[in-house]
Amino acid sequence: MDIISYFSRNIVTPFWAFYERSDYLQHYRRMLKTQYDPPDVIIGRQTEKMRAIVAHAYNTCKFWRERFDAYRLKPSDICDLTDLCKLPVLTKSDLRVRLDDMISSSYSDKSKLVRFSTSGSTGVSVNVYADEFCTQFKRGAVLRSDEWTGWRCGERIAAIWGNPKVRKDFFGVMRNLFLERYYVFLDTLKMDERSMDEFTKQLLRYPPGMLFGHAHSLYLYAQYLRAKYPEVKIRPHGILSTCMVLHDFERRLISDVFGCRVTNRYGCEEVSLIASECEAGDGLHINSDALYVELLSRSGEPVVGGEAGAVVVTDLCNRAMPLIRYEVGDSATWSNRVCSCGRTLPLLGRIEGRVADYVVTDKGEYISGISLTENFACMVDGIAQLQIVQNDINKFTFNIVKDTDFGETTMNQIKKLVVERFGNNATFDCNYMEKIPIEKSGKYRFCISKVKKDF
């Protein structure tokens, strides 16, 4: 038994929340009850929050005032959730071009806000700012859904993740050891045999309460364990898959290897948790306490039946930078089921988002496309949009849409990252484009590998 987990859950967690003056635990406890409210009560609560955020956006944000005026709308014209369709969708380009105009005048000092920076699965880097209340409210919602996996707050977490951010100062080490409990990482930028062996030793020495990571990275590791250590029994209480589409064949293998149900979670940096499976696995419950979700057809109409539609989200919490009808960039379907768990939060059927291709290096290392995008799109200046194509084991093409500050510094940063990520033998060329084309399916692939792999 992990004694620290009890200590963390019952003593450290509430004390740390008090120390940080955070009310996320109060939100969490409240949401444990409201998740069973009648559907009309949930819709009524969403409607009230939507009206408040729409009025706030119009009164305090230059961008939203201009947008409403352009469509001859007033906040009073958006009376219920279906009225949101009177507004056009908000795009990633809007966020990039009009960032300052989207921040509420009530929160003019950006240094006091929480910034979320993401490359996005489209390769377009965007920044979003959130106020403290929004951040802590969503923190409570994430804790609630994470516990649907079978894991409990305070238990150890092992993560398979790209660019793990591990604080090494004393305060950071103590916070991670006793509060956040992330005790070991397998970096998806270097999933070679040595790294996976060391990760396995750590899991056997200190069994995890939760195994957390990119969907396909979890699959690769499970595949590795089955092939090399079929006798090893690692049994977490929960497995949380996120960031990429979780295919049925991946879910089956992961569950079989670890003897544990796999929980699929869907979200993005801009609005945090969007939906998550519960223990029943009848679909993904939408985080309706914080968001309102629409699924739209290509013509902009709500989808019907099991048809896939573009995910469009209205953030009901973020007053610092209101996001109304934000087009995430993925597609999903509705579920017509009533979940057997008893929760009344609406259900998504399946997520049909983009699947990130993996790149394989000449050293046999697998690198996830999401990790690469985080590196190249977020760490390189002067790129508006990026697509990485691996033509051969050491030959790459970067399809680039230049930003205004593209220049010599950009190229030097790319050269440095190519060596760091792909090795000294890697070569690349750049293909400059006005716009990177999408697939025939309507999906955009930010990382394409043409190299044959073993998975």
Domain that holds residue 432: 358-449
- Is residue 440, in this structure, part of any structural domain at all? yes
CA distance 146 to 153: 8
The C-alpha atoms of residue 160 and residue 220 are separated, in whole angstroms, by: 10
pLDDT at 443: 46
Q: Residue 90's CB: how many other CB atoms inside 10 A? A: 23
Which stretches of 52-147 are assigned E, i.e. beta strand?
114-118, 126-130
Q: Considering its fold, how many domains does the chain have in total? A: 1
Per-residue pLDDT, 336? 87
Q: What is the C-alpha separation between 127 and 377, in angstroms, rounded?
A: 12
CATH code at 374? 3.30.300.30
SS3 content of the chain, % helix, strand, coil (to 5): 40, 25, 35
Report residues of the chain scoring pLDDT below 70: 1, 119-124, 163-166, 353-357, 368-371, 373-374, 377-378, 438-444, 453-455
Contact yes or no for 264/332 (Cβ under 8 A): no
pLDDT given at position 182: 86
pLDDT at residue 442 in the model: 38
In the prediction, which pLDDT does 396 show?
A: 95
- The DSSP letter of residue 135 is H
Tokens of 266: 């869907």
Burial 46-59 (b: 16+ CB within 10 A, else e): bbebbbebbebbbe
- Does residue 417 fall inside a structural domain? yes
- Is the residue at 436 inside a domain? yes
Tell me 111's DSSP state: G
Q: Is residue 441 part of a domain?
A: yes
Here the tokens at position 35 are: 């998740």
CB 258 within 8 A of CB 223: no
pLDDT digits (tens, 9 = 90+) for 335-374: 988 899 999 999 999 887 654 467 888 888 878 666 676 6
Helix axes 39-60, 62-70, angle to 10 degrees: 100
Alpha-carbon gap, residue 409 to 415, rounded angstroms:
10
**Of 244, 264, 262, the residue nearest 254 (C-alpha):** 262
If DSSP codes are grouped into helix, strand and coil, which group holds residue 170? Answer: helix
Phi, psi of 221, rounded to the nearest 5 degrees: -70, -40
Domain membership flag for residue 383 = yes
The Cα–Cα gap between 193 and 364 comes to 8
- Whose tokens are 């970096």? That residue is 187
* 435 falls within a domain: yes
| Cα 209 from Cα 112, distance rounded (Å) | 34
Of 201, 283, 211, 218, the C-alpha closest to 253 is 218
Query: pTM value?
Result: 0.80
